[in-house]
Every structure is written in C-alpha cells, then in structure tokens.
C-alpha cells in the first residue's frame, strides 16, 4: 500500500491540550519548508491551581512521513497576573488527516499531556 503524501502543513491551526493539571487553548502558526517546520504557538494556559496566563513560544521541528516532532526554542509571557517561570514544551504527533494532528506533549519539567492541532487556514 502506497503511503499518502501529506500536503503542506503551512498555515494556521487551532491548538488544544489537556495535561492533567489543566488545559491550554490557542493557535499555532506553522511554516513547512521541505521536512523542516518552524513558527510560533500562542496560547492561554489554565492550570487548576492558578489563574490563566498567556504564552508565546517560538518553535521548530520536522515532519517524517505522517509523524511530526516540534519543540519550543524560546518563550515570551504575553500576560500573567503573577510571576511565573515557564518550561519549554515539545510535541510529538501523527497526522490523522489533512487537517488534524494528534499526539503527546511534554515540557522540560516532565509534565505530559495530549494535544490536537486542527488546521483552519
């Protein structure tokens, strides 16, 4: 069976994650050049024990057939009502179809979650 070639991942994606201690929602701006991925992810995180805060992470990664690996390289705190120290995230997932990627996330603190990227543009 021939593996289907995935069209470009370049575009805007809705980002949703559940990591056990809370949730995150936002958007991913992705640029694909060959197998290389880059862009940024902007999201609000709502941890069970704290107020919501907003983060932007610069990302890079790669796609290999229908598997993706993305890691954050730096972050900016866009909004927080208190001091936070943020740990960079990474995401590993699989293309479910042309407009959906699902997989597991992990931050540098060791907190894991499950995520979904849904392409909108």
pLDDT digits (tens, 9 = 90+) for 23-60: 999 999 999 999 999 999 999 988 766 678 899 999 99
In a domain, 5, yes or no: no
DSSP string across the chain = -PPPPPPP--EEEEEEEE-SSEEEEEEEEEEEETTEEEEEEEEEEEETTS--EEEEEEEEEEEETTEEEEEEEEEEEEE-SS---PPPEEEEEEEEETTEEEEEEEETT--EEEEEEEE--
Residue 107 belongs to what domain range? Answer: 11-119
Note the pLDDT tens digit of each residue in 71-96: 999 999 999 888 888 889 999 999 99
Instruction: CATH number of the domain at 48, please.
Output: 2.40.128.120
In a domain, 2, yes or no: no
Q: Residue 1 domain-assigned?
A: no
Report, as an integer, the average pLDDT of 61-72. 96
Record the pTM: 0.88
User: What does the pLDDT read at residue 1?
Assistant: 41
* Residue 102 forms part of a structural domain: yes
pLDDT of 48 reads 66
Please check whether residue 3 lies inside any domain of the structure. Answer: no
- Counting the structural domains of the chain, the total is 1
């Amino acid at each position: 069976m021939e593996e289907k070639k995935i069209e470009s991942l370049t575009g805007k994606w809705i980002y949703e994650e559940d990591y056990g201690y809370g949730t995150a929602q936002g958007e991913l701006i992705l640029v694909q050049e060959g197998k290389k991925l880059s862009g940024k992810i902007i999201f609000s995180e709502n941890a069970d024990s704290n107020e919501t805060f907003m983060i932007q992470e610069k990302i890079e990664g790669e796609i290999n057939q229908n598997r993706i690996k993305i890691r954050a390289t730096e972050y900016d705190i866009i909004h927080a009502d208190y001091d936070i120290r943020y740990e960079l995230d990474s995401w590993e997932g699989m293309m479910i179809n042309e407009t959906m990627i699902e997989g597991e996330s992990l931050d540098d603190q060791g907190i894991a979650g499950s995520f979904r990227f849904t392409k909108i543009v």
